[in-house]
A and B are shown apart, each in its own frame.
Chain A
Amino acid sequence: MTEYFLLFMSAAIVNNFVLTRYLGLCIFFGVSKNYRASTSMGLAIISIITLSSMLTWVIEHFILLPLGLYFLKTIVFVVVIAVFVQMLEMVIKKFMPTLYNVWGIYLLLVATNCVILGVPLINSEANFTFIKSTVNALGSGTGFAIALILFASLREKLQLSDVPKSLDGLPIAFILAGMLALAFQGFNGMIPL
């Protein structure tokens, strides 16, 4: 149990996806202008990341490895995740229209994204078991959501402050992200892997 807890914390905080591994920056800078949007996005990411890493684990261990097709991993993962997200979108649209109105667009945005593809690849590189992969995915998603929501609330404050003209917009957002990453750097080495 402790092992899983440590894995979760390590994925969520110590090796935070955005702030130490630089994955998912497009979403991180694109969605974080708005606090509400970033909360929905965070939830969408957590759910999709967990489901798709479970799916890819099954495919890797029951199809790719027995057939010796390991080198096709990248292609298969990309296609499987894209198809899965599209199907999820259709199902939600049909059965839960209210949820779709809030979430729908975010589901499509993450269909081919480095976070969603990154976690299955990391799991497969580290040769995790099924439960470990799921815990790692859950932790990574949670870490991403935490970083996104923190950053969005910082950025809302930033709109009221007086920024040098040439740094306004994206550049100051980058520098702010650097400061946030500096804070997260403090967790570095807390959990030896």
Chain B
Amino acid sequence: MNLWKEFTKGIVAENPIFRLALSLCPALAVTSNVYNALGMGITVLFVITCNNMVVSVFRNVIHPKVRVPVYIMSIATIVTVAMLVLEAYIPVLFKELGIYLPLVVVFAIILARAEVFAAKNSVIPSMVDGLGMGVGFTFGMVTIGAIREIAGNGSFLGYQILGSWYHPPLIIILAPGGFIVIGFIIGVMNLMEKRKKDKSEKAEMAAGGMV
């Protein structure tokens, strides 16, 4: 039950893209369509889970003074493995992601999870935390990718879903669109949070009145 909680917190409450605003560079750069966003999301899911496990296994051996360099080395190694696998089996995706793939090494979210969670917990919870964060990251990426691909190209995963009546504004899949879309998504999430808060406050007031 507790593990389930660790898993779900990464998806909603602490979603790495929308809530923590970490690792935004890739979120914008490769989300011009759903396929690339999904590919990047799954790569990060793999890296963050493996790295959390490695860090958690060695957490009692690593001297606190050198922990950050050790974490970075571990992340860089896992990213290299992921790159070699992608290059061998999905060369198209490898080409599309290009420069952003090796840059997974410096994503703040991966280092942050190692430091905040994996360094203090045992292997299984760390793995679940990594999986949750990775799924949350993938979910965020695919959401942005879907909005940009549908609005900017009228298609989803390459299939044309909006008819020929729709003339897509190209700007959405170009660089400026990424910034604007993510700005509005965070705005909508703020609005929803505020609504929820107001509602619970009202409910509390009503309950207080009853007593």
Contact = CB atoms under 8 A, between A and B. Distances in A.
Interface residues of B, number: 41
Contacts of A82: 69, 72
A172 B26 CA distance: 20
Interface string B75-105: 0110110011000000000000011001101
Contacts of B21: 29, 170
Interface string A11-32: 0000000011111111001000
B13 interface: no
B102 A74 contact: yes
B174 interface: yes
A78 interface: yes
B67 to A, nearest CB: 13
Interface stretch (A45-53, A60-68, A111-119): A111-119
Interface stretch (B38-46, B124-132, B184-192): B184-192
Contact of B176 (A72, A112, A117, A181): A181
Nearest to B31: A22
A175 B183 contact: yes
B185 to A, nearest CB: 8
B76 to A, nearest CB: 4
A20 B28 CA distance: 10
A125 B102 CA distance: 12
A178 interface: yes
Contacts of A19: 175-176
A122 interface: yes
Contacts of B179: 174-175, 177-178, 181
A172 B76 CA distance: 34
A71 B111 CA distance: 22
B162 interface: no
Interface in A124-177: 125, 164-167, 170-175, 177
Contact of A74 (B25, B79, B108): B79
Contacts of A114: 25, 103, 106
Given A112-B72, A166-B187, A117 B25 contact: no
Interface in A68-83: 71-75, 78-79, 82
A74 B190 contact: no
B28 A74 contact: no
24 contacts: A22-B178, A26-B22, A72-B80, A74-B79, A74-B83, A74-B102, A79-B72, A79-B76, A114-B106, A117-B106, A118-B99, A121-B99, A121-B102, A121-B103, A125-B99, A165-B194, A166-B190, A171-B187, A174-B179, A174-B180, A174-B182, A175-B180, A177-B179, A181-B175
Interface of A: 19-26, 29, 71-75, 78-79, 82, 112-114, 117-118, 121-122, 125, 164-167, 170-175, 177-179, 181-182, 184-185
| 9 A-B pairs with the lowest CB-CB distances in the bound complex, closest first | A174-B183, A178-B179, A178-B180, A181-B176, A175-B183, A171-B187, A22-B29, A166-B191, A75-B76
Given A22-B24, A79-B69, A121-B99, 20 more contacts: A22-B26, A23-B25, A26-B24, A29-B24, A75-B76, A78-B72, A78-B76, A114-B25, A118-B99, A165-B190, A166-B191, A171-B186, A172-B187, A173-B183, A174-B179, A175-B179, A175-B184, A178-B183, A184-B175, A185-B175
